[in-house]
Structure formats: structure tokens, C-alpha cells
Chain A
Amino acid sequence: MIEARNLVKRFRDKKRGAVCAVDDVSFSCRPGEIYGLLGANGAGKTTTLRMLATILAPSEGTAVVAGYDVIKDPQTVRSRVGFLSTATALYGRLSAQEMVEYFGRLHGLDEPTLRGRVDEIFTRLEMNDFRDRRCDKLSTGMKQKVSIARTLVHDPSVMIFDEPTLGLDVIAARTIALFIRECRDKGKTVVFSTHVMSEVEKLCDHIGIIDGGKLLAEGTLPELRARFGVQDLEDLFVKVVDP
């Protein structure tokens, strides 16, 4: 379960001065559900998700993730969350297996449990052929699989994806989409951000449209279509953002 309550994030920018990147954002996402945060570049998607993953601390408001408060208990929140984005790169000089094991250990797994988890994930994601290969020698698709394995190693109940398909080719993007669906089917709480309309249509149960740091509209896709009287998602998005 994720519950964002009036999240605000302000920071100082050299050129722009005081900036409010996220302004009073509230939404919730239940287990077995995918919540899609749809917005243009700079809308505040990444900052919102970073606050949910406790990488950034909110300036105001809070969120409860997997039953824990992001301000009071950030470390426990991180131990329940799997966070994946194009910005979460791999350690190039570690092998695929070393990379996943490192994060398993940081999540407090003991060695026998870790070995079992790594074997299971590597087999399920068909990664055994390159488990000893250094991450900087892997193809984009292989790297994506290692990143997925890294987010899964501690079996989190909440998954947060920040534009996970950005810059990926069709095959690699498809692997990610399938993985997101699989997470939902296993009863995990999934939040993901994107600016790709087709991904939202295909994957999301609930949609939040964000712009200028504010959550402007929220609901299921049929609800939003009915409310704004527009069928095409792109037209709907433009109508919400630029009425």
C-alpha cells in the first residue's frame, strides 16, 4: 500500500531561485494495483517517486509506504521497496551476480537465503548465461534484467518505477512492461511514472496526471474519459494540462 499525503518538495535552484517541484500531491495505491503517474518532463514525477522511495525527504506532508512513514522510518521503507529507473545504473566493474548479491546483503539477507534467491531470480529471468560477466560488458537488455533482479532480490511488497522504459528499444521496453504486470499479478503495490501514453493505457489501473508539481486529475482511465469527455488519452492529457 502507498499513501501519499500532501507531499511538497521545495529546493533552491541557482538559475530559478526557490522552486516548488512537487506541490501538495496526495494519492493512494493498493496492493495488486498499478498507479501510473503521467506527466511531461519536469512535471514533478521523479521528485514524487524519489520521496516515496525515501531518496529525497519531503519539505512538507508525508507518505506511508508498506505501512511505514517515509519521514519517521525511511530505512524500513527502503527495505520494503524495489526502486527502478533509468537513473539507477549498475556497477560496471561488478559481475551480474556480484551486483545482485551486493544489494541482497545490504537488504540484510543471510548467505543461504541470498544464494537461494539469486539462483531463483537468475533462472526465472534467464540470466544464468551472463551471471559472471561484468555489468559494463552486458547488452542493454541484459542490463535491464540485472536491474530487475536487483529490485527483486529482497522480495519487496512495493515497486516504484521511474520512467523505466526511457531510452530502451522495443524488446527491452517490453521486458519491463511484462515485469510490471507480473508484479501486480503477484499482489505487489506498483507505482510508475511515464510520459508515454500507450504504456499508461496498457498497464495502469489508476492514473494521476501531474503538471507543474500539482496532481491535476486522478482516476481510472474510463472515469477520466467520462469526466473530460475525451476518448484519446493524448487529447485528454492536453485538456487536463492546458485547459
Chain B
Amino acid sequence: MSLRNIGIVYRKELIDSLRDRRTLISMIAVPLLVMPLLTIGMGALTLSMIGEAEKETPKIMILGGDDSPHVRAELQKLGDVQIVPANPDYAEEISNKQIRAAVEIPKSFEAKMAAGESSKVTIYMYEGELKSSFGADRLQRFFRQLRDRTIRERLEARQLPDSLVHPFDIQQKNVAPPEKVGGAILGGMIPYLVILLCLTGAMYPAMDLTAGEKERGTIETILCSPISRTHLVLGKFLMVLTASIVTAILAIASMAASFGAGKKILIGVTHGAADAALQLTVTGKAMASVIFVVLPLAVFFSAALLALSLFAKSFKEAQSYISPLMIVVVLPAVAALLPGVELNPVLALVPVLNTSLVSKEIISGVYHWDLIALIFLSSSVYAVLAIAIAVKLFQREDVLFRT
């Protein structure tokens, strides 16, 4: 094994790749731009949507209730809603966003209340529509207060204590440290993005260094030099791995920076209310551990992409082989985000999914060292296998000279 020869190939491929616009975009521009855009951009968009919805005075329709003038009058007096005249097409108007919600007051509502009988108020809204749910929430609040007041009045009239209808309180308390709460919500996203960028960072150099060489006719030039094909493929592999790792590290750094900035903006806008929800403290130890578990996966991706694109005759053909691979990688990475998918010794052997799950745990502060070791080991085995396949393929004339 000549490290000198591998080094010569690596150095040349590095210079060559750094002059390739496509590689630069996938290796540097994408991780540096995607993260701030995702965190700050999406955060700002959500905030502005919520802000806009909050600013609006929702239009509310009251259906029925002509025999309940007091309730109607109280609703009319609410300053933060606008009451519009009743219309039988209320459902359509809610769907068309002409009004945000409607409330149906049943017949003899006030009379039944006075008689101590029960009745049902119905609120109509458009599920999933932010402004409609704000309108419906306002109505819910109004009627809940009215109900509480009625209960209190009835109890007082009978000289009964409040505890009669309120025998005990239920309180839910969180014992998870703040970073674990954040880890569960946001922690899943981070490994998913890092794994994806590890793959995309390696993609262009892998295609360029194999199928690209075939397309440009330089493969025969390099094959007539005395370097062994094993050294050649290892030099190329190291370059692809460099691109993959640089992309992942830039992604992590840019994510940490943009998350920090995004959090400050959110806390500023929401006057501190977002602080609790965004308690994601990613420690240096967690970052280093994520890089440690992602490393063999990056090796696996680099070697697998190199081997796969060597089969192709051209850059375009290589793209058609590799694009489906994106789905193969994205699916297990996304599966790790699903609730209920927990790391166990069997899942620790599933490539991509294992790294995604363990990274999620690490970011939320949980370290199962036995599983981390198992995942590192299994990923390393896959990585070594992929390198062996790439080296083997570089010895095959029918692959190198496939026309």
C-alpha cells in the first residue's frame, strides 16, 4: 500500500473538485444556505403567519338564540370579534374564509339554564385553518366562562361548596430536562438533515470522479499511468469522503449558528414565550458524538456512491442511478422521526436508520454506549464492504470500459 500514491491522487482530485462549480455548490453553498433558510426562514414565516392571524378580528356568526337575548348581547359586546348577520350558508362561508367561525345557540338556551336543565352549544369551524381556530377558540372561551359562572351561581343558590363539582385538581409535571424536551422535538430533524447532507455532499464528487472521467475521456489517461487501481480508487474515495464530511460539518455549524439566531429572534418576538419551547441545548459532547457515529456512514455513502457511479457511462446516467438512492436513504432517516420508533439492538443493525435514531438520542442527552458501539461497528462493517466493492469494481475492465 503506497500512501504516497494515494496522497498524489487525493491532492489532484481535491484541486480538481475545488475548481468544479457543482461540487462547490453541493459541498459548501448548500449546507451554508439551507440551514439558515430552514430555521430562520421557516421560523420567520410561521411567526408572521401567527402574527397576522392574531391581528385579525375574526368574523363570527350567531345562529339562533333569538330567545336568549342576554347571551346574544354579551357576545355582541365582545371587543375582539365581529358579529355578522346570520345566514343559512354559514358552512360555505367558513370554507370560503368569509367568516371564521359560527356558533349555534339552541332553542330556549337561557330558559333551560335558568331551569337548571342541560343543553348543547355547537361551534362550527374549519379544522387546520389557523384563523378559523382562533375565532373558534374565542367562542370556546366565552362559553366556558359562561358555564363556570352558571355553575358558581347554582352552587351559591343552594349554598353548596365549590369542591362539590371540583373534588380534586390534576396537574402534569415534566421531569425531562429542557434539552431533552427540545431534543425530542427538534433533535430528530438534525440527524436527518446531517445524514441527507452527508449523502448530497458526496454525490457530485463521486459522479464527477468516475462517470465524469469516463465522459471526458480521462479514465484511459489515468489508467496508463503506473499507479495501481487500488491506490487510484482509494485516492478518489478519500476526496469523496472529504466532501461528505465537510458538507456535514458545515451543516452542523451552520445549523448551530442559525438555530441560535433563530431562537433569539423567536424569543424577542414572542417576549420570551418561545424560550421554553426552544430549550435545545446541543452540547459539544453531543456534537462530537454525532460526528463520531455519522463518520462510518459517510464512509459507506462515499464508497457506495463511487462504486455505483463507476458503472455509469456518463454523468447523466450516474444521476439516474443515484437519484433513487436518495429515496432509499431518506426513508429510514425519516422513519427515525416517527413517534414510537425507539432504538433497539435489531434496529442498531439497520444502516441509516440506526445512525439517525442514535443521533436523535445523543442530541436529547441520552447515551446508550452499548448501542452506540454496536452502531459504530455495524456501520463500519458496511463501510468496509462498500470500499471493497468499489476497489473490486475498479479492477474490472467491463466496468471501466463500459460503452
Contact = CB atoms under 8 A, between A and B. Distances in A.
Nearest to A80: B226
Given A55-B220, A102-B8, A106-B8, A91 B16 contact: yes
B397 interface: yes
B221 A79 contact: no
Contacts of A79: 226
Interface in A71-113: 75-76, 78-79, 81, 83, 85, 87-94, 98, 102-103, 105-108
A79 to B, nearest CB: 4
B184 to A, nearest CB: 46
What's the dominant secondary structure at chain B's contact region? Answer: helix
Interface in A1-29: 11-12
Contacts, number: 66
A108 B226 contact: yes
Interface residues of B, number: 22
A214 interface: no
Interface in A120-164: 134, 150
Contacts of A88: 217-218, 220-221, 224
Contact of A107 (B220, B226, B397): B226
Interface in B381-403: 397-398, 401
Nearest to A102: B12
Contacts of A64: none
A56 interface: yes
Interface string A21-56: 000000000000000000000000000000001111
B380 interface: no
Given A90-B218, A93-B16, A106-B8, A11 B398 contact: yes
Contacts of B398: 11-12
A203 interface: no
A78 B216 contact: no
A52 B8 CA distance: 25
A106 B19 contact: no
A53 B224 contact: yes
B204 to A, nearest CB: 14
A88 B223 CA distance: 9
Q: Which 9 A-B pairs have the closest CB atoms?
A: A89-B217, A83-B224, A79-B226, A78-B226, A88-B221, A93-B19, A106-B225, A105-B8, A87-B220
